[in-house]
Amino acid sequence: MLEGPESYHAWFSLITGSFPEDLWRYVDPDTEDIYEVPVAVTFDSIKLGATTLRDLTAPEKTLYASLKSVHKSDVSQYQRYLSEVAKLRSRILSTIAEDKRAMLRADKTVRIWITNLQTSTKPTDAQMTDLIWARHRILLGSKYIEWPSIGPEKWLTEWQKLMVDCEIWCPALHNNWARDFNLVWGEVPGAKRLCDRLVEALGEGELADWDIFKATRELRQAWEQKSIRNGMKIAGKGKITRAAFAAQPRFDGSTSEDQPEPTPSDTTTLTVNQNRSRSTSRKRSGTDSTQREGRQRGQKRNTLTCWGCAGPHIDFKCPLITEYNPQGTPVPTEWQERFDRKMLDRTFEHKVTAIREASRFRRELARSAENEAGLGRE
């Protein structure tokens, strides 16, 4: 979708790639070629004044048949051109925002359409470099200390797109991709070995043997091996006790500052007093309807529903929307799956991104205030 300057080049590549190469020069805004309508072949064009085939000599009849065949081929090619232009019009209208359609008048050619979109949307090289820099800061501004709950696939997809754009617009960033990769994954168990190999390649000048696709494959393999190890059973153990899972798993994507270590107070312990005497008092049984109404009055209805995962909480407390889960609250699978499906919608993704940035900014302000307060006490 052509939504702004950042998406223009990808959109233009999609448009040019979907149109036949031999016909592109007739709609290319950088050329002035016009597809001429084929001129019909008549008897008069072969012999002045001829109106029927009988007015032509034998050689003229042969020439007429030859030109008629060429004209038929030209008409077929022209019809193909008209069909592809009609498809291109529909494709452009379906891949641009609603507010941009006002500049695409139906009586104008496709070439004028593309020229207008270029004028209003195409960024300069300097603007494109700034946009890539901003994406680079957002994607590589946070590091992982544990594997994401669903693996590194989503991060790798965004990282590959970013590195391809960096190779075009910011070569300096692309040359430092290995260092950036290590900053994000260097502390994750299982991925540390891959990061160490990249460090060795950087030090020995052998980074030419690596590229973003090889690093992507290696990180996927590390995740698969980790998953296999987690699924293996411990030999010699009759059963797995609940004590093995006393520590709740931490939510992925947060930094060490955002996730404090669990304290003993986080573990709930249930104790029973065996010496307590049984009460001899009697309770009024009442009717079934009376007891049921009493229970219903004693229960509080939770009417809160998160629009991101449909969980019983407000959106600014949702660990999936904010990517902030300091208490390590387990995220149910249905919440995660519902949230991932909604993230495919670009409008929903933009809304979630804005909330995450605001939440991250508030946490940074809070940490700064705490640090200043600590320095003041010293």
CA distance linking residue 184 with residue 172, whole number of Å? 18
Q: How many residues does the chain have?
A: 378
* Domain map (residue ranges) of the chain: 5-121, 125-230, 304-378
Average pLDDT over residues 369-374: 71
Does 362 or 243 have the greater pLDDT score? 362
Percent of the chain having pLDDT more than 70? 79
Mean pLDDT of 13-41: 92
* 268 or 200: which leads in pLDDT: 200
As a whole number, mean pLDDT of residues 234-238 equals: 54
Determine the pLDDT at residue 280.
Answer: 52
* Of the candidates 79, 81, 78, the residue with the CA atom closest to the CA atom of residue 111: 81
pLDDT given at position 202: 84
Q: Is 243's pLDDT higher than 60?
A: no
Would you state the pLDDT for residue 296? 53
Span 132-149, average pLDDT: 89
Residue 96 has φ and ψ, to the nearest 5°, of -125, 160
pTM for the predicted model, two decimal places? 0.50
Of the listed ranges 84-88, 189-193, 289-293, the least confidently predicted one is: 289-293
Q: Rounded mean pLDDT of 323-327?
A: 82
Record the tokens describing residue 340, joined without a space: 């991932």
| Token reading at 106 | 């139906």
| Close Cβ partners of 354 (under 8 Å, ≥ 6 residues apart) | none
Report how far apart the first and last C-alpha atoms of the chain are (Å, whole number).
55
Give the separation between CA 206 and CA 52, rounded to whole angstroms: 79
Single out the residue of 44, 70, 46, 45 nearest to residue 58, CA to CA.
Answer: 46
The pLDDT score that the predictor gives to residue 345 is: 84
Strand-pairing partners, residue 96, are 2
* Interatomic CA distance for residues 96 and 98, integer angstroms: 7
Comparing C-alpha atoms, which of 197, 207, 155 is closest to residue 177? 207
236 backbone φψ class: left, alpha, beta (φ>0; ψ -120 to 50): left
What pLDDT is attached to residue 361? 76
| Distance set, CA 300 to CA 297, 303, 315 (Å) | 8, 9, 20
Q: Identify the residue with better confidence: 236 or 229.
A: 229
CA dist., res. 7 & res. 287, Å (int): 68
Rg, Å, the chain Cα set: 34
Residue 233: band (very low, low, confident or very high) from pLDDT cuts 50, 70, 90: low
> Judging by beta carbons within 10 Å of its beta carbon (0-12, 13-18, 19+), is residue 228 exposed, middle or buried?
exposed
**What's the token pair of residue 199?**
């460090």
Nearest partner of 148 among 336, 338, 345, 350, judged by Cα: 336
Most confident listed range (253-257, 261-265, 306-310): 306-310
Distance (Å) of CA 124 to CA 4, 11, 128: 13, 15, 6
Per-residue model confidence as pLDDT tens digits over 87-116: 999 999 999 988 888 888 889 999 999 999
pLDDT higher than 60, residue 292: no
**pLDDT mean over 70-96:** 94
